[in-house]
Structure 1
Amino acid sequence: MKKYSKYGYAILAIPLSILLRFAIVPLIGYGIPYIMLYPVTVGVALFAGMGPAVLTGFLGSIITDYFFVSPLHTITLDVSHITRLSIMVLTSAFVGYVGDMLRAGRKRAEKQALVLRDSETRLNRSQEIAHLGSWELDLVKNKLTWSDEVYRIFGLQPQEFSATYEAFLEAVHPDDRTAVNDAYSSSISEGRDIYEIEHRIVRKATGEIRYVHEKCQHFRDETGRIIRSVGMVHDITERKQAEDEILRAKQEWERTFDSVPDLIAIIDNHHRILRVNKPMAQRLGLDADKCIGLPCYQYVHGLDGPPDFCPHVRTLKDGCHHFAELHEERLGGDFIVTTNPLYDEQGRSIGSVHVARDITERKKAEAHIITLNEELKRKVDELDAANKELEAFSYSVSHDLRAPLRSVAGFSQALIEDYHGKLDNEGMDFLNRMVSSTRRMGVLIDDLLNLSRVSRTDMNRVNVNLSRLAGKIVKNLKRTQPERQVEFIIADGLFTDGDEHLLNVALENLFGNSWKFTGKLQKAMIEFGETIKDGNSVYYVKDNGAGLDMNYAGKLFTPFQRLHKEEEFPGTGIGLATVKRIIERHGGRVWIEGEIDKGALVYFTL
């Protein structure tokens, strides 16, 4: 339809030319009859082509002759009319042909321009994706041209301003600017056709530093003079960052590899050393790089082949983890050696990772432990013997020593009763002292036996309610002297892990001491509780009794050490020594604080 519409335009052009010719009749008359047909035919030729132009020329010539050539309003087929018709048709054909050629040329030019624009778009897109820009410097015209991607690489909007060499140098990092300028200038002055360089640039708007790789090629005229330089700018920031990351990872791996105290060697399938860490190289007495390629059995073991115990050989055979314990004089000690298989990218075995851990000190420690165990066994045997002797002594004390003591006490008491009237006062006083001393001796023997039992009794650890034990002890004390006015303060819910019998003995001694040393007060106070010292739980028994001189506090936990006379406060000096042994058997410690006449405070931990 589009093709035939052109012929419609050609037919419509004919009446247009006729009407225009009629319009100028008043001006020029009927002379030059084709004056309007020619331009109309040329217009049809340029617009619609040769066919429509010929149609317009042919029909227009006939109609023009009819209206404007004498005789008017007639169609005459004579030589002059046929000649004018032929000339008009040929002219129309020629103009139409020229119009077709011009139109075809324009279409080719438009198509080439479109292809060029598409190519340029694809090139710009490709450069943008690859972060690869291009530039060209015309040395004759001193004109520099950047592609859009060069602008983007430099942090600018494409074609933001006319590129100049000075603007380029200004964007180069100050530390690299001289090197970049020298690279370009020297390539021209030295006549080199190609140069390339890596350097940094600074994006002016953000201050961001980017890395680029530039490559340039020079072109010469027929005389050999460089007239044009063409180059590319490749943004390699991500690559540099990746390389830096890889380098850092490599350095970190090497630092870790060399920092491991174990002796590490990577060994191939032929028992050759591929790599060692610093500790391994130091044991071999070589630099790490000098160890590469050495047979491990020769330089590690001083042998001509792999030893029978070699775990590396077993790993090569079955691809499994293996280990061996050995003593190696060349490495200076005892080692546990482990090997793990090593594979390449295709999963093929290429050797093993050989790790030797120095256990020399551990072996020495084990030998020392064996010696200590033997010594401990000997000490235990000696202690068992001593305990048996102590048991025999305790039996002797409790039986052999008590018998004569009872006899002395009994006969003394009989003399007092039977010879009361026959002895003077001094004799009676001597007998009373003898009875008192034998009783005190009996108490002392009992306390010594109790102290011995505390040290030898087997411990049965359970959860012990200390508050309940303290309550029972208080009831027993009150029954001994119900007339005394004593305020007891017992904290509730005090539990611990220990031997209930021994802890009861310890509390009886502590409460007994407080009861005794507050005996001369009208209103006494005894307190049992728990506190925190240095982040640890500490129990205490506190009273407001006679107190003590802290200069002698350290002596109180030694057997038979007392700070008061027998007449003031009776006792044997065994109680606090018994407490100390019980607390120490529970892994704790005990200490005392106080002032004279201001009471005492005994702390203990468990």
Structure 2
Amino acid sequence: MKTMSDPPKNGIESIIVTTLVALTAFWFADTVIDAVIPQVECECGRLHAPTVLASLFHLIPLIAQLLLIFFVRRLFSERRLLVRKLEAAVAAALDEKARTDAVIDAVGDGVCMLDRDFRIVYQNRAHERLLGEHGGERCSDAYDEDPDACRDCPVARAMDTGEVCTGNRRFISKGETRLLEITSSPVRNAAGEIVAGVQVVRDVTERRRSEEEIKSLNASLERRARDLAANNRELEAFSHSLSHDLSAPLAKISCAVETLQEIYGEQMGDDGRFLLSCICEGSSQMDDLMEALLALNQVSRKELRREKVDMGALVSQLALDLRRSEPARRVDFVIAPDLTAEGDPSMLRVALQNLLSNAWKFTRNVDGGRIEFGSVDRNGERVFYLRDNGAGFDMRQVGRIFEVFQRLHDESLFPGTGVGLATVQRVVERHGGTVTAHGVPGHGATFTFTLP
């Protein structure tokens, strides 16, 4: 195999022939000189003491030969220099081509070049993996088996219009239909003529599937949003019913029972008075339940307005209200000072009121009741806690504790609506925080929550 460092064979033969011809000419010239110069001396004399003219004529061929040798040597030197430069240029070109190929191969999209006859003259590896190796083939023969197919493809339009063109085509690969996104651009020569076209092929099958899934999910979300809006309207109607339609009859019942007790209480027997007390108690429980449900609805729908809240002062005020409601009870409140948080003041008041009322209720049967409120730092996050030494609860039931209408204790011992802790969770979650509970039967409970 001929390499770039080997001189062309025809060039070497030409130099050798030229050199031989020149040497023959010099020999012939030397012979002619010898024949022309007069024979004035003997052969020995001519050798040892030649004339100036003879010496001069004999030097001419010698000088010519030396010049010829110098010329040939210089010619070969220049030739070797040119060969080295050519080798360096070829090596640089190959290196640049390797870098270019590496860059194109690193692109995840398939890259292909087609000439004006729509023959594939270049494919990168991604293109070969995607569509197969088809160098030298017409794209219609390689892919579509349709001679006129290329006339409608983006690369054909790009070479016709001189603009960047895009399009989508379906291609069957390994028995599976793939969707390809094609972007084509024209390639021009130095004169500005379009001589080829380049197309970048991207497999968008998975992306299109994801888009379809997103559309389906969006449609589902829109349906759910409409359903939620309808549910909200129903909830508003229910709230209005609780606050007006149901509370008014309940107030009439309470008023009638009180009137009966005042007017006919002494005339009734024990059974009558017991029944009236049951009606009063049921009416009061119903009123408490409606208020709890209204509070839960309000914290769920109310617009959240964040501001700095003094949590310690708020808990102290709520604790004072509890003491005033039952002045005979002896419960120690331990409230950490300087506790602040960012949140909605009215919502946080509702949450803390429910937590404190819960602790107040479950320490009712404990001598030396104690309720603590403070905060700890946990992994750089402030965690508030409210702890009591009351009845506690079984941790096996902790999953139910924040559900609406769920009670973990006998209602006759600890009456309640079953809505308070659900309201606490709703408030905390609306602030972007979390609330947890931990209890030990007979040793109290601890509720923790965060307010980011």
Is TM more than 0.5 here? yes
* Cα shift readout 1:3-24 (whole Å, capped 9, x = no counterpart): xxxxxxxxxxxxxxxxxxxxxx
Aligned residue number for residue 303 of structure 2: 459
| Counterpart secondary structure, 1:465 | strand
What residue number does 2:373 align with?
Answer: 527
Match of 2:154 in 1: 310
Whether 2:437 is the aligned partner of 1:592: answer yes
In structure 2, the CA distance between the partners of 1:532 and 1:243, relative to structure 1 (3 Å rule), is farther
Q: 1:478 aligns with which of 320, 344, 354?
A: 320
Counterpart for residue 429 of structure 1: 274
Q: Match for 1:293: what amino acid?
A: G
Task: Give the Cα separation in 2 of the matches to 1:356 and 1:531.
Answer: 55
Aligned position for 2:54: none
Contact 1:334 1:360 in 2 (8 A): yes
- Do the aligned partners of 2:392 and 2:439 also contact (CA within 8 Å) in 1? yes
Match of 1:146 in 2: none
Cα distance change of structure 1 residues 538 and 271 upon mapping to structure 2, 3 Å threshold: farther
Are residues 447 and 315 of structure 1, via their aligned partners in 2, closer, same or farther at CA, if it must alter by over 3 Å?
Answer: farther
SS of 2:210's equivalent in the other structure is: helix
Structure 1 389/479 Cα, relative in aligned 2: closer, same or farther at 3 Å? closer
Partner of 1:295: 138
Deviations 1:507-534 (A, max 9, x none): 332233233334445352322324325x
Closer/same/farther in 2, CA of residues 258 and 368 from structure 1, 3 Å limit: same
The separation in 1 between residues aligned to 2:190 and 2:353, in whole angstroms, is 78
How is 1:210-249 mapped onto 2 (pairs within 5 angstroms)? none
1:512 to 357, 382, 389: 357
| Aligned equivalents of 2:268, 2:281: Cα separation in 1 | 18
Alignment partner of 1:265 out of 98, 112, 115: 112
Q: State which of 307, 327, 334 in structure 2 corresponds to 1:488.
A: 334
User: Would the aligned equivalents of 1:548 and 1:597 in 2 still touch at CA under 8 Å?
Assistant: yes
Q: Which residue of 2 aligns with 1:162?
A: none
Alignment of 1:25-36 (within 5 A): none
Q: How does 1:178-189 map to 2 (within 5 A)?
A: none
Shift of 1:266: 2.9
Aligned partners of 1:527 and 1:543 also within 8 Å? no
**Which AA in structure 1 matches 2:442?**
D
In structure 2, the residue matched to 1:604 is 449
Measured against aligned partners, the alpha-carbon deviations of 1:268-288 in whole angstroms (never above 9, x if no partner) come to: 45433222234422443x3x3
Judge conservation of contact 1:549–1:594 (CA < 8 Å) in 2: yes
Q: Equivalent residue for 1:572?
A: 417
Instruction: Check whether the contact 1:267–1:351 (CA below 8 A) recurs between aligned residues.
Output: yes
Deviation at 1:313, TM superposition (A): 4.1
Q: Which has the higher contact order (CA 8 A, sep 6+)?
A: 2
CA deviations on 1:530-569 (whole Å, 9 max, x unpaired) are 4325x76644333333322112111111112122334533
What is the correspondence of 1:322-337 to structure 2 with a 5 Å cutoff?
A: 322-330=164-172, 332-337=177-182
Cα distance in 1 between the residues matched to 2:307 and 2:156: 58
User: Could you say if the C-alpha distance between residues 261 and 572 of structure 1 is closer, same or farther in structure 2, counting changes exceeding 3 Å?
Assistant: same
Q: Does 1:276 align with 2:118?
A: no
Read off the aligned partner of 1:472 and give its amino acid letter: L
**Distance between the aligned counterparts of 2:167 and 2:334, measured in 1?**
66
Do the aligned partners of residues 517 and 492 (structure 1) sit closer, same or farther apart at CA in structure 2, a change above 3 Å counting?
Answer: same
Hey, what's the Cα distance between the residues in 1 that align with 2:334 and 2:422?
24
Q: 1:345 & 1:598 partners in 2: Cα distance?
A: 90
The answer to whether the 8 Å contact 1:470/1:507 transfers is: no
Q: 1:508 to 1:421 in 2, by over 3 A?
A: closer
Identity of aligned residues (%): 32
SS in 1 for 2:368: coil
Change over 3 Å in CA distance of 1:404–1:581 after alignment to 2:
same
Task: Flag the 1:327–1:340 CA change in 2: closer, same or farther, 3 A.
Answer: closer
Letter matched to residue 111 of structure 2:
I
SS at match of 2:290: helix
TM-score, L = length of structure 2? 0.66
CA contact (8 A) 2:154 2:184 kept: no
- Residue-pair matches, total: 361
State the SS of the aligned residue for 1:481.
helix
Answer yes or no: is 1:366 the counterpart of 2:211.
yes
- Give the 3-state SS of the residue equivalent to 1:564 in structure 2: coil
Question: Could you tell me which amino acid in structure 1 is paired with residue 241 of structure 2?
Answer: S
Compared CA separation, residues 524 and 539, structure 1 to 2 (3 A)? closer
Q: State the superposition RMSD in angstroms.
A: 4.0
- Contact 1:412 / 1:435 at 8 angstroms: preserved in 2? yes
Q: Is the 8 A contact 2:391 2:441 kept in 1?
A: yes
**1:152-171 correspondence runs (5 A):** none
Alignment partner, residue 417 of structure 1? 262
Deviation at 1:402, TM superposition (A): 2.4
The residue identity in structure 2 corresponding to 1:445 is M
Equivalent-residue separation in structure 1 for 2:165 and 2:429 (angstroms): 46
CA 280–567 in structure 1, closer or farther in 2 if over 3 Å, else same: same
Q: Give the distance between the partners of 1:369 and 1:451, measured in 2 at CA.
A: 34
Amino acid paired to 1:272: R
User: Partner of 1:17 in structure 2?
Assistant: none
Is the Cα contact below 8 Å between 1:592 and 1:602 reproduced in 2? yes
Of the three residues 392, 409, 416, the one matched with 2:237 is: 392
2:303 corresponds to which letter in structure 1?
M
State the Cα distance separating 1:259 from its structure 2 match. 5.9
Instruction: Tell me the TM-score normalised to structure 1 length.
Output: 0.51
Q: 1:295 to 1:257 in 2, by over 3 A?
A: same
Structure 2 unaligned regions, length at least 5:
1-76, 81-87
Is 1:558 aligned with 2:403?
Answer: yes
Instruction: State the 1:573 CA deviation.
Output: 1.1
Counterparts of 2:382 and 2:122, CA distance in 1: 56
After superposition, the Cα gap between the structure-2 partners of 1:353 and 1:499, relative to the gap in structure 1 and judged at 3 Å, is farther
Q: What residue in structure 2 maps to residue 406 of structure 1?
A: 251
- Contact 2:319-2:333 within 8 A present in 1 as well: no
Question: Using a 3 Å threshold, how does the CA distance of structure 1 residues 603 and 259 change in structure 2: closer, same or farther?
Answer: farther
Q: Is the 8 A contact 2:433 2:449 kept in 1?
A: yes
CA distance in 2, matches of 1:295, 1:503: 74
With over 3 angstroms needed to count, the CA separation of the structure-2 counterparts of 1:564 and 1:263, relative to structure 1, is same
Query: Aligned pair in 2 of structure 1 residues 258, 385: CA closer, same or farther (>3 Å)?
Result: same
Question: What is the deviation of 1:363?
Answer: 1.9
Cα deviations by residue, 1:393-440 (Å, 9 ceiling, x for unpaired) = 332333332233223222221121112221233332222222122111
Deviation at 1:593, TM superposition (A): 1.0
8 Å Cα contact 1:315/1:352 also seen in 2: yes
| Counterpart secondary structure, 1:542 | strand
SS state of the match for residue 294, structure 1? Answer: coil
How far off its partner does 1:248 sit? Answer: 12
Q: 1:305 to 1:249 in 2, by over 3 A?
A: closer
